[in-house]
Amino acid sequence: MDGKIVTIPGDGIGPEIVREACKVLDKIGKVYRHSFQYTPVLMGGCSIDEYGVPLTDEALETARKSDAVLLGAVGGDVGNSRWYDVAPDLRPEAGLLAIRKGLNLFANIRPAYLYGELADACPLKKEITGSGFDLVIMRELTGGLYFGERHTREVNGVMEATDTLTYNENEIRRIAVKAFSIAMKRRKQVVSVDKANVLDSSRLWRKVVEEVAKDYPEVELRHMLVDNCAMQLVMNPGQFDVVLTENMFGDILSDEASMITGSIGMLSSASLNETKFGLYEPSHGSAPDIAGKDIANPIATILSAAMMLRYSFDLDKEANAVEAAVQKVLTDGFRTADIMTAGGRQVGTSEMGDLIAENIK
Ligand code: IPM
Ligand code: MG
């Protein structure tokens, strides 16, 4: 198979972690006889420096013509960077939102899985994690507060800022269908998260999710308010299989879910549209404070590349091989700084990539 991949290394630790993921993909190519061709494009702060905008139309078109996009991270230090002294739509993160919207990547899948080896890095007590957890957050990615109308203005001498949260039934239906179909391949449970005790958008969300549920009689559906879900994630994470939620809630809950796996450096993600095309990126940010020091954890990006093999290239065996290699390296005791615990063997970014590539069988 020939795969055309657009890489977006981005800012901060982005280039280092994307390099390691490509190393692992190349090893997959060698062992399983595929060829992956990479076309790098700029997005985020590096694109602002080069072109004055966080994402050029050309970069978006190059991404659109590829089979899949592998993204590192974009953005810098918000409080202390020239990239933030400009209008919001010219900031690095605007590039990320533009590519999500421009390529209609409405379904964001973020798996959170506790590796037995990382139980000591998990901040929760052993009584709580019990036999571990394995959940996925299905986050709506192209609607809600992120893309609603917004403005800041002065009203009677007082500054006022407005953001709007809108969902139509079609947007809710298509993400619900994705959540139920992925649940069918897992433990057949969906928890739909909303704030239906306050928000109209949540009440519509609940109604449409219930309609979709009728087409999946085998899947058990529960509704949960978002504040309760935030609490349940740290009280009993093992109860969740697929968590379906809107954009902003999903942003917040996925950081929480990632942290209980031991480190945000472990959480991969896939952003999909209705076709096989997808954008794959770690759920964490660009971590400018540790950029260029060879200490960032590349595992989230490597696991995102595994999701790319599975969802965009239908290469399940190869995706399993990447996941097994990550598991093996953790079992062997290798750790990057963020997941380091007593008895582990600490390695840097590129050594972690080498080890995972070597273990591709
Ligand atoms: C994420 C990030 C982005 C988001 C930021 C960088 C705009 O936090 O992918 O979760 O909020 O979606
Ligand atoms: Mg986030």
Under CATH, which architecture does the 123-257 domain have?
A: 3-Layer(aba) Sandwich (3.40)
The pLDDT score that the predictor gives to residue 98 is 96
| Helix count and strand count (H, E) for the chain | 12, 14
What is the homologous superfamily of the domain 1-112+261-361 according to CATH?
Isopropylmalate Dehydrogenase (3.40.718.10)
The pLDDT score that the predictor gives to residue 263 is 87
- In degrees rounded to 5, what are phi and psi of residue 152? -125, 130
- pLDDT averaged per 10 residues in sequence order, the chain, 361 residues: 97 98 98 98 97 97 98 90 88 96 97 90 90 95 97 97 98 98 96 98 98 98 98 97 98 93 91 96 94 97 98 96 97 95 95 98 93
Q: Indicate which atom in ligand 1 lies nearest the CA of residue 97.
A: 7
Nearest ligand to the CA of 286 is: 1
The pLDDT score that the predictor gives to residue 89 is 87
* CATH topology match: 1-112+261-361 vs 123-257: yes
The pLDDT score that the predictor gives to residue 119 is 87
Cβ atoms of residues 348 and 292 within 8 Å: no
Residue 201 is given by DSSP the state H
The pLDDT score that the predictor gives to residue 90 is 92
Is the CB of 93 within 6 Å of ligand 1? Answer: yes
Entry pTM: 0.94
Nearest ligand to the CA of 93 is: 1
- Name the residue ranges covered by the structural domains of the chain: 1-112+261-361, 123-257
Is the CB of 96 within 6 Å of ligand 1? Answer: yes
**Cα angle, residue 197 at apex, residues 175 and 179 outer, rounded to 5°:** 15
Cβ atoms of residues 110 and 137 within 8 Å: yes
Cβ atoms of residues 9 and 72 within 8 Å: yes
Which of 8, 11, 96 most suits a substitution to test ligand 1, by most atoms within 8 Å of the C-beta?
A: 96
Q: Do β-strands 220-225 and 334-335 pair in parallel, antiparallel, or remain unpaired?
A: unpaired
**Cα angle, residue 294 at apex, residues 123 and 306 outer, rounded to 5°:** 70
> Which residues have a catalytic role annotated?
146, 195, 227, 251, 255
For residue 274, give both structure tokens: 């209705």
Tell me how far apart the alpha carbons of residues 175 and 190 are, in angstroms, rounded to a whole number.
12
Partners of 8 in beta bridges: 71
Cβ atoms of residues 172 and 205 within 8 Å: yes
The pLDDT score that the predictor gives to residue 156 is 97
Nearest ligand to the CA of 74 is: 1
Residue 293 is given by DSSP the state T
Q: Indicate which atom in ligand 1 lies nearest the CA of residue 100.
A: 12
Nearest CA to ligand 1 atom 8: 251
Tell me how far apart the alpha carbons of residues 207 and 167 are, in angstroms, rounded to a whole number.
12
Which of 11, 91, 93 most suits a substitution to test ligand 1, by most atoms within 8 Å of the C-beta?
A: 93
Is the CB of 251 within 6 Å of ligand 1? Answer: yes
Distances (CA, A) of 37 to 3, 22, 69, 325, 361: 6, 10, 11, 22, 21
For residue 244, give both structure tokens: 């379906």
CA 284 / ligand 2 centre spacing (Å): 7
Q: Which helix (H) or strand (E) holds 70?
A: strand 68-73
CA 251 / ligand 1 centre spacing (Å): 6
Tell me how far apart the alpha carbons of residues 37 and 26 are, in angstroms, rounded to a whole number.
9
